[in-house]
Amino acid sequence: MTLLQSDLLLQVPTVIHGFTTKREDLPDWGNVSLIQGDPSHALDNRAKNTTTLDIPPEHLTFSLQEHGTTIRRVSVADRGAGSDSPESSLPPADGLIANEPGLPLAIMVADCACILIAERNGQAVGAFHSGWRGTFENMAEAAVRSFQSLFGIPPVDLAAWISPMICGNCFEVGGDVWKKFEERWGRDHLLENPLRVNLPGLIGTQLVQAGIEPSNVENSGACTFEEENLFSHRRGETPNGRMMGFISIKK
Ligand SMILES: [Zn+2]
């Protein structure tokens, strides 16, 4: 498996995006995280995935991710933060949003979702990290709201893609987490025997409840825990790695 892309986001002419995968043909199986495996391999792997789309890897822009719902507006002055070392990343934020061209925003995951969102004419883009904590706290809604508050873009003008993540059949949780979700989100996306949470299903609901048209929300449907060609934190194999979702307005 090579780079994954969203059919929906490919329809936005001025936007470039992608989601890396686990690959046998690349060193460290295509890992793109500088804190997993050999950092020089990770840098090469980033380059192999982005240069085909005319994105210089040194322009990729990262923040420190902390499973929160903080969203940071990024400008060209921030471009390349975290592209050479984790220490140069932007301060903690699990969402990055921008309306300037040539500024690729990147989120790293392995079981959590990377949500990529674009204004449908390419006026603004964002990349958001939503694992179980972020999903519980409704990162999806925070993401949609940020387009409105920062750029005046209404939800009906947005298209969103939910990356591969651990699916509802596979994501087993303890009773405390299951109850927490039931109290806040109801039972629609919960399963029993064993107790599980359907995170991609819930994120899809959250995006629609935040105002995006259902036809403008696309779920990749791939499960990181089941697919050998995707990295899974929970599957816990060695060597392990991270995948990267990225999105940019074309220069
Ligand atoms: Zn699964």
How would DSSP label each residue in 10-27? HTSTTEEEEE----TTSG
- Cα of 234 vs centre of ligand 1, distance in Å, is 11
- Give all strands (DSSP E) within 92-221, no chain letters: 95-98, 105-109, 113-119, 125-130, 158-162, 190-191, 196-197, 217-219
pLDDT of residue 141: 98
Of the candidates 93, 171, 181, 89, the residue with the CA atom closest to the CA atom of residue 138: 181
170 located within any domain: no
73 located within any domain: yes
- Cα of 122 vs centre of ligand 1, distance in Å, is 32
Q: Beta strand 196-197 with 158-162: parallel, antiparallel or unpaired?
A: unpaired
Tell me how many domains the chain contains: 1
**Cα 40 to Cα 173: distance, rounded to the nearest angstrom:** 35
- Cα of 197 vs centre of ligand 1, distance in Å, is 11
- Cα of 204 vs centre of ligand 1, distance in Å, is 16
- Cα of 125 vs centre of ligand 1, distance in Å, is 28
pLDDT of residue 1: 56
173 located within any domain: no
- Cα of 123 vs centre of ligand 1, distance in Å, is 34
245 located within any domain: yes
pLDDT of residue 125: 98
Model-wide pTM > 0.95: yes
- Cα of 194 vs centre of ligand 1, distance in Å, is 13
- Cα of 32 vs centre of ligand 1, distance in Å, is 22
235 located within any domain: yes
The predicted-structure confidence for 84-99, as pLDDT tens digits, reads as follows: 999 999 999 999 999 9
Q: What is the CATH number of the domain that holds 100?
A: 3.60.140.10
206 located within any domain: no
| 3-class DSSP state of 44 | helix
With a cut of 70, which residues of the chain have pLDDT below it? Answer: 1
178 located within any domain: no
pLDDT of residue 122: 98
174 located within any domain: no
**Cα 9 to Cα 2: distance, rounded to the nearest angstrom:** 17
pLDDT of residue 89: 98
- Cα of 171 vs centre of ligand 1, distance in Å, is 7
pLDDT of residue 93: 98
**Cα 156 to Cα 166: distance, rounded to the nearest angstrom:** 28
pLDDT of residue 236: 86
| 3-class DSSP state of 237 | coil
- Cα of 158 vs centre of ligand 1, distance in Å, is 28
- Cα of 241 vs centre of ligand 1, distance in Å, is 18
Q: Which domain holds residue 114?
A: 7-165+212-249
